[in-house]
Structure 1
Amino acid sequence: MDSVAQEPVPYPFEAGPGPGLAPAYAAAMASPGLLRVRMPHGEPAWLATRYDDVRLVMGDGRFSRAAAVERDYPRLTEYKLAGMLSADPPEHTWLRAPAAKAFTRHRVERLRGWVRGLAGSLVDGMKDAGPPADLMAHFAMPLPVAVICELLGVPEADRTRFGDWSAGLMPTAPLTVEERVRIGAELREYFADLVRERRAEPRDDLVSTLARERDAQDRPSEEDLLDLCGGLLIAGHETTTAEIGNFAHVLLSRPELVARLRAEPDLIGSAVEELLRFVPLSAGGSFPNYAKEDVEVGGVLVRAGEPVLVSVGAANRDAARFANPDEVVLDREDNRHLGFGHGAHFCPGAQLARLELQEALAVLLTRIPGLHLAGEATWNTGSLVHGPLRLPVGW
């Protein structure tokens, strides 16, 4: 069992401009054990890239997220994340429970017709603007913002404010600590007012549900409730916006896939799962998991107190788990990808994201038969989430 500390290599690995996986991941997966890496900030860490190793670290109770709070944990920026990402059970369970109850399959599925209509109206607006058009500005960005705001119960008149708040709170945004504090305070104050309104006059929305669940259990704290509302708002559209752009770029770069989906629309659900597997969404390893005791991972003895980063993008391309991992197989079977995570930190909004991505692809492929790329995409290189900033399309 190898536990010798290697000289750490710089991480994240340099990737190309598109939704691809950096070549260094293939070398890491082909090498035995774990890789020793150093991110721009924080202490060195082990990096897990193979499917079984990543799944173990994400789901094994011998690893802790909360331990990172008191450490100079490995990260992309000087700014540190907090909230549910840095909590362990039972605190994490208390924080997560209201959101899990709010994002039930039934509640989410009730939105499908509305989401389909919204996507159709956005496509119509893009077509009215005429080609070439920016798919991100006309479709990929406004769709998830409107959906998460509708689910939360944010009035339509207030929704334009959230784009700036969300962008400012991303860890890689070029803002001072003071600016981040101000934006966070503004968002928390907004949700404090909205929670007060929903407590006085409950509605069938997510904020009312979260407040009711919190009050029934007298936990989490009121401050954690407000942070949860803000976190759901940001997480509920940043990643889905990026994935709509990534998925569109992958498909429109492969006309044979578009032709098959138009001929076999029942494959849309399977295609979304395959694209979730194929596209590496994160720019680097996820939030670190600290070993609470000595743990063997991939033949390496991770000592108690050492952090392990996991690369979901690499794990989802592991040939030991997926046949033809570097190909998009629209009807792939047994596609247990890790795109939404695993274990206690599995994404509570996974059902909502799936619905939005399914309806987005279906509308784009059916309402614009001649949709095609009309220029080079501009890629987001300053965020934890990798996706297009601009995606020119024509028809």
Structure 2
Amino acid sequence: MADNEHFPFTCGPRGTPSGRYAALRENEPLGEVRVPSGDTVRIATRYEDVSMVLTDPRFSRDLNYPGAPRMYPGYTLTESPGTLIGMDPPEHTRLRRLMSGTFTPRQVNGWRPRLRRLAEDLADRLPEEFDFVADYAFPLPVQVICEVMGVPGIDFERVRRWSETLLSTSSLSKEEKAVSAMEFGAYCAEVIAEHRGAPGDGLLTAMIEARDGTDQLTEVEPVRMTLSLFLAGHETTGSIMGRIAVRLLDPRDHYERLVADPGLIPRATEELFRVEVPGDTLTIRVATEDVNLPSGTVRRGEGVIASFVGANSDPAVFPSPEVMDIERTFTQSHMSLGRGPHYCLGANLARAEVQEFIGAMVRRMPGLALAVPADTIAWTSGISVNRPLAVLVRKSATPR
């Protein structure tokens, strides 16, 4: 195996997909890669293969057995027992059923006025020049998740530190990751305990009261769900927002079109989700028996990465996939929110949040522009999400 088959691949300029995805898709659509744990697994890079891996019940997310392939050494949230993303049916089905009423389109639409108010209020408070990542892309999702969960506030600095540790691909020790996980879990338990004494109308109350007949969440399950929501609710969304800023502001053509016609925002959001997925290095699935995929056979016991990045840039499904087209017509959906049983539980919220985020940008900051050349922006390394570290912008575009 060549050195360049170590995964995750190094991204191209401005976080664009590595050329390795296209090469594998063309020559080895189920090729092998070595992941940070040292294990070797398959990687599916064609849309049809990825779709089947995500939906076929013969691919398991339960990696809690001796010798199971792991993405990272030590503790990882996505591979730990008891988390929704690391479960198979029937346990997974039970939790999804109990949580199914929390993110319905109707409920999320009811949250939209609050999402819009938060996005616009934050935009209005920003100075003329600011760091889009630190001052807008990450604070906004934190405010949203607090509002939606019905929690008045969280210790943002500690949550950020725990998140970065749990998402790190660097050589942090097992002990460091385990300590962060325990501290994060204990903090979530404290938040829930405080909320039980003064319940409100947010998502946390809905989780505490979630029932299906006589079945309900156990004491530990709301803690795990809360931890996952804090993590996904700010890290993933904030990373996408940071990437969107770079994409829309250099060149500014797309941004100016959205300023002129905000009605394009829903369609533009889907295209931005497709091209700006911040990574696909979180999960491995294991074949429980030999499975014939469109591009070949995965043997029993082999691990597979279903690459969202690879699927989203498959030219067989998305013509000219390297081109961002905010009016693209989707005949098949992108994979950024997953598919099948593990389809993102908060997908409706994620879409609404990003739509309202872009809407607030174009309404409140129509002249928004980069304050530095896009090619000088530094991007993350050593973490499983790929995003810009800082994006300096100004509210009023001025000629350089």
Please confirm whether the aligned pair reaches a TM-score higher than 0.5, indicating the same fold. Answer: yes
- Please give the root-mean-square deviation of Cα atoms over the aligned residues, in Å: 2.3
- The counterpart of 1:278, out of the listed 275, 288, 292, is 275
SS in 2 for 1:379: coil
| Residues 65-80 of structure 1 mapped to structure 2, 5 A cutoff | 65-67=61-63, 69-80=65-76
Length-normalised TM-score, structure 2:
0.89
Please list the CA deviations of residues 198-247 of structure 1 after superposition, one character each: whole Å capped at 9, or x if unmatched. 44543211111111115964454322321111111111111100011111
- The counterpart of 2:56, out of the listed 55, 60, 81, is 60
Q: Counterpart of 1:55 in structure 2: which amino acid?
A: S
Structure 1 residues 49, 272: closer, same or farther in 2, change over 3 A? same
> How far does residue 315 in structure 1 lie from its aligned partner after superposition?
0.5
> How far does residue 98 in structure 1 lie from its aligned partner after superposition?
3.5
Aligned residue in 1 for 2:177: 180
Aligned residue in 1 for 2:35: 39
Gaps of 5+ in 2: none
Using the alignment, how far apart are the partners of 1:392 and 1:69 within structure 2? Answer: 46
Q: Which stretch shifts more, 55-64 or 359-368? A: 359-368
Aligned residue in 2 for 1:221: 218
Q: Is the 8 A contact 1:54 1:312 kept in 2?
A: yes
> How far does residue 84 in structure 1 lie from its aligned partner after superposition?
1.7
Please list the CA deviations of residues 308-358 of structure 1 after superposition, one character each: whole Å capped at 9, or x if unmatched. 111111101111111221111111112511110000110011111111111
| Residues 151-166 of structure 1 mapped to structure 2, 5 A cutoff | 151-156=148-153, 158-159=155-156, 161-166=158-163
Please list the CA deviations of residues 360-387 of structure 1 after superposition, one character each: whole Å capped at 9, or x if unmatched. 1111122122211112322111221111
Aligned residue in 2 for 1:3: none
Aligned residue in 1 for 2:288: 292
SS in 2 for 1:45: strand
Q: Does 1:134 align with 2:131?
A: yes
SS in 1 for 2:258: helix
Q: Which stretch shifts more, 213-222 or 259-268? A: 213-222
| Residues 1-395 of structure 1 mapped to structure 2, 5 A cutoff | 9-67=5-63, 69-80=65-76, 81-82=79-80, 83-127=83-127, 130-131=128-129, 133-156=130-153, 158-159=155-156, 161-172=158-169, 175-213=172-210, 217-282=214-279, 284-334=280-330, 335-375=332-372, 376-394=376-394, 395=396
Q: Is the 8 A contact 1:68 1:289 kept in 2?
A: no
Please list the CA deviations of residues 227-273 of structure 1 after superposition, one character each: whole Å capped at 9, or x if unmatched. 11111111111110001111111111122211221222100000000
Q: Is the 8 A contact 2:146 2:154 kept in 1?
A: no
Using the alignment, how far apart are the partners of 2:155 and 2:64 within structure 1? Answer: 35
Q: Counterpart of 1:272 in structure 2: which amino acid?
A: T
SS in 1 for 2:304: strand
> How far does residue 12 in structure 1 lie from its aligned partner after superposition?
1.8
> How far does residue 117 in structure 1 lie from its aligned partner after superposition?
1.6
The alignment of Structure 1 onto Structure 2 pairs a total of residues equal to: 386
Q: Is the 8 A contact 2:61 2:87 kept in 1?
A: yes
SS in 2 for 1:93: helix
Using the alignment, how far apart are the partners of 2:10 and 2:214 within structure 1? Answer: 46
> How far does residue 181 in structure 1 lie from its aligned partner after superposition?
3.4
> How far does residue 71 in structure 1 lie from its aligned partner after superposition?
3.1
Using the alignment, how far apart are the partners of 2:166 and 2:282 within structure 1? Answer: 17
Q: Is the 8 A contact 1:378 1:389 kept in 2?
A: yes
Please list the CA deviations of residues 139-172 of structure 1 after superposition, one character each: whole Å capped at 9, or x if unmatched. 0010001111111222236555433333333243
Gaps of 5+ in 1: 1-5
Q: Counterpart of 1:23 in structure 2: which amino acid?
A: G
Using the alignment, how far apart are the partners of 1:318 and 1:183 within structure 2? Answer: 37
